[in-house]
Amino acid sequence: MSHTVSGKTVIKVEDKDLAKESLEECWSEGHTVIEGGHYRGRSCDLIVKDQYGRIITGLSPNLEDGETYDAVGYNPDAGYSRDQQIVNDIMDKVYATHAAKLGARAFEANGIEIESMSEAENTTLMIDGKEEEVVQVKVTIAGGKTSVGGSAGTQLTGDSGNLTGGIL
């Protein structure tokens, strides 16, 4: 029997503005992202509708922590074996775009001006001797902070695109 699917995402409720921008970029023309509404019995902060006005998915604050979003969708099949795959399919491209936007925000928060940024893409990199799946974005820096104490300039350290060394 068909049913609602819901899966926790890594997108934080506090980043709703970036989530909305990411959804808008990831869905084809004719789709719209609206703020607020209900989908499949859940109150959603963001809803994606297709060109005919049908709701495709929604992002609803997680019922347990309230800090991250759940992706709400629909499984037209009987059985629950594909539920997580449906959520993954809905969110895959959104995650890559959202990660790039978080990275840009982190650069800007550190006073670094970005001239251009490539589209985010999923890839693998060697991190600490292990191959890991990551989201990669190529960034052209236009300027920003300079070092007052020497010629070193702004030092960026870390892995997977996080300025402080963690994963976004």
Dump pLDDT digits (tens) for 131-148.
988 777 777 777 665 434
Calpha distance 47→39 (Å, rounded): 8
Rounded percentage of the chain residues whose pLDDT exceeds 90: 30
Match domain 3-109 to its CATH number in 3.30.2020, 1.10.3470, 3.30.310, 2.30.30: 3.30.310
Given a contact cutoff of 8 angstroms between Cβ atoms, the answer to whether 154 and 112 are in contact is yes
**What mean pLDDT comes out for the span 14-34?**
91
Q: Please give the model's pTM, rounded to 2 decimal places.
A: 0.69
Domain boundaries, the chain: 3-109
Query: Two tokens at 19?
Result: 């989530």
Tell me if 106 sits within 8 A of 93, measured CB to CB.
Answer: no
**Which residue has better confidence, 7 or 69?**
69
Distance, CA of 150 to CA of 58 (rounded, Å): 49
Higher pLDDT, 88 or 130: 130
pLDDT exceeds 60 at position 158: no
The CA distance from 120 to 75, in Å, is 28
Residues near 39 by beta carbon (within 8 Å), at least 6 away in sequence = 47, 55, 57, 58, 60, 72
With beta carbons less than 8 A apart as the criterion, state whether 100 and 137 touch.
yes
pLDDT at 165: 35
Max CA distance (Å), the chain = 67
